[in-house]
Each structure stands twice: as C-alpha cells, then as structure tokens.
C-alpha cells in the first residue's frame, strides 16, 4: 500500500500519500495544563513538516495553538466549521503564521496539493472548546484519499452509521484510549475500537490516542488504562476482525501497510 504512517504519540500522526504529508492533531509539548507526557520523546522538528494539517476537534489536546505555531507559512490548516469563531487565538495565529485555513463540516471535501482529497466525516464526540464553549463546532474524522484511503477517526465513540459515513478504507487510525483513568461517552476504548474495526473492515489499522499523556499526580490511579490499550486492542482485533493487520507502533515509529485491496 503506497501510504506511510508515523505515530508521534497521542492523536498526532503523519500520513504520507502520493508525496503529500498530512499531519493530524499536532501536540508537540511535554506538558499541557494538568497532563504530562509520560512516554515517548517529544516529536522532532521535522514532525511539523506537512502540506496540510487535519484538526479533528477543538479540545486543547487536539487543537493546540503553540504546536500549530510551528507550522511553516503556507501550510493548509483544515479545521471543523466554526473553529475560527470559537477559538479567537486561532484567528490571530493564522494571521501571524501565514496559514491557509479551510473550515469543514461532515461531507465536505478539499483537495491538498492537487493530489490527495480529504473528506470530513462525523465523529461522536463533544466538539466544543472546553472547559466552557458556548459556540458549537462539530467533531470530525477525516478520510484521506490518495493512492490509498486512510481514515483518521480523531476522537470518537462508536456509532451505528460509522461504516456507512466513512465508506471503504484501506487503513484506519483509531483511538483506543485516552489521557485519564476513565473514558466517558464519546470515546473508543480497546473493545469498542475493535468493534469499529470489524465494522469498517480496512486492510490495516494503527491504534492511537493512548499511552502518551497522563494527569500529573495520578500515576497510581488505574495505570492499566495508560499502559494496556494498545496491546488489548491488538488482542481484541484479532478476535473480532481477524483479516485486518494491526500495526502497534512505538512513539516515532512508522509503517507502510500492506498492499491496498
């Protein structure tokens, strides 16, 4: 399959397809508010190199302004509709950094560098800028359509129409955990992510959104929720979706999944 995936930690990945690099939900800091990076070195400067950046929703660990400030001028920044109104700092950053912003809602499509199409798909998640976000903005997933079709789920729960909304894909980047000891509504844990994988039926999958950040002072609270989701997802996926090849990457590791179907 002519696509390469690099996992930098949390929900941050580089998808390289047709010579185009797309970066997802960049988070390049050791600490964010009450969260501390517990595993994996910080991504190197080259991780910020991309033709386009896909932001799934407005939570600060997914739309992180200091990390977006590392992007090169002219980078295409794809965000949920209403993001610029909901996050005033985003407007200032876009102007000062020279980014090209496209706001998208589910079903919208945009072409990146003339070679790769990006389609926004729904996600079951609170898309507001927290802790208080009066302006609503949808949480999104994205399907990157180049030589392969890659689904970046962002942050989402399992919903009945997921496979229909996403459509056929070759690779699925699925969240399998979180950053705290409990996962609430609108998230996938390892078991629900395996169910999603069975419904989507890609050729390959990469688990993300686990094993990177953890609240300061909570190291002893349900630590298996930090360490276990990746391994547990591999185990459950083998049972529910045995035809899917799961690549459990370490931080900074990359993979070229097998031939597209």
Express each pLDDT in 77-131 by its tens digit: 999 999 999 898 999 999 999 999 999 999 999 999 878 999 999 999 987 776 5
Residues 211 and 248: beta-carbon distance below 8 Å: no
Three-state SS for 90?
Answer: helix
pTM above the 0.85 mark?
yes
Dihedral sign of CA atoms 93, 154, 166, 160 in order:
negative
H or E element at residue 242? none
**Cβ atoms within 10 Å, residue 45:** 9
Question: What is the phi/psi pair of residue 23, to 5°?
Answer: -110, 135
pLDDT band at 260 (very low <50, low <70, confident <90, very high): very low
Indicate whether 143 pLDDT > 80. yes
Q: Is the peptide bond before 131 cis (omega within 30 degrees of 0)?
A: yes
- Tell which residue, 207, 197, 206, 193, has the closest CA to residue 243: 197
Q: Are strands 204-208 and 171-175 parallel, antiparallel or unpaired?
A: parallel
Indicate whether 261 pLDDT > 60. no
How far is 60 from 204, CA to CA, in rounded Å? 29
| Strands across the sheet containing 35-37 | 31-32, 35-37, 213-215
pLDDT band at 184 (very low <50, low <70, confident <90, very high): confident
Question: What is the phi/psi pair of residue 163, to 5°?
Answer: -60, -40
């Amino acid at each position: 399959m002519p696509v390469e995936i690099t996992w930098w930690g949390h929900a941050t990945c580089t998808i390289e397809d047709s010579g185009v690099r797309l970066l997802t939900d960049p988070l390049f800091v050791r600490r964010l508010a009450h969260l501390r990076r517990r595993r994996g070195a910080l991504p190197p400067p080259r991780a910020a190199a991309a033709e386009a950046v896909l932001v799934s929703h407005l939570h600060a660990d997914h739309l992180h302004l200091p990390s977006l400030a590392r992007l090169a001028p002219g980078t295409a920044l794809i965000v949920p509709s209403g993001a610029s109104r909901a996050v005033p700092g985003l407007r200032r950053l876009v102007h000062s950094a020279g980014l090209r912003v496209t706001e998208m809602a589910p079903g919208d499509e945009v072409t990146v560098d003339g070679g790769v199409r990006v389609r926004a798909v729904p996600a079951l998640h609170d898309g507001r800028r927290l802790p208080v976000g009066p302006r609503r903005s949808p949480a999104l997933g994205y399907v990157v359509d180049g030589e392969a079709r890659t689904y970046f789920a962002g942050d989402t729960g399992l919903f009945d129409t997921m496979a229909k909304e996403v459509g056929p894909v070759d690779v699925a980047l699925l969240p399998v955990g979180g950053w705290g000891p409990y996962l609430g509504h609108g998230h996938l844990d390892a078991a629900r992510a395996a169910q999603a994988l069975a419904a989507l039926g890609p050729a390959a999958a990469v688990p993300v959104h686990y094993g990177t950040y953890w609240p300061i002072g909570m190291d002893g609270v349900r630590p298996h929720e930090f360490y276990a989701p990746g391994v547990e997802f591999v185990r459950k996926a083998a049972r529910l979706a045995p035809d899917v090849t799961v690549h459990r990457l370490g931080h900074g590791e990359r993979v070229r999944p097998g031939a597209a179907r």
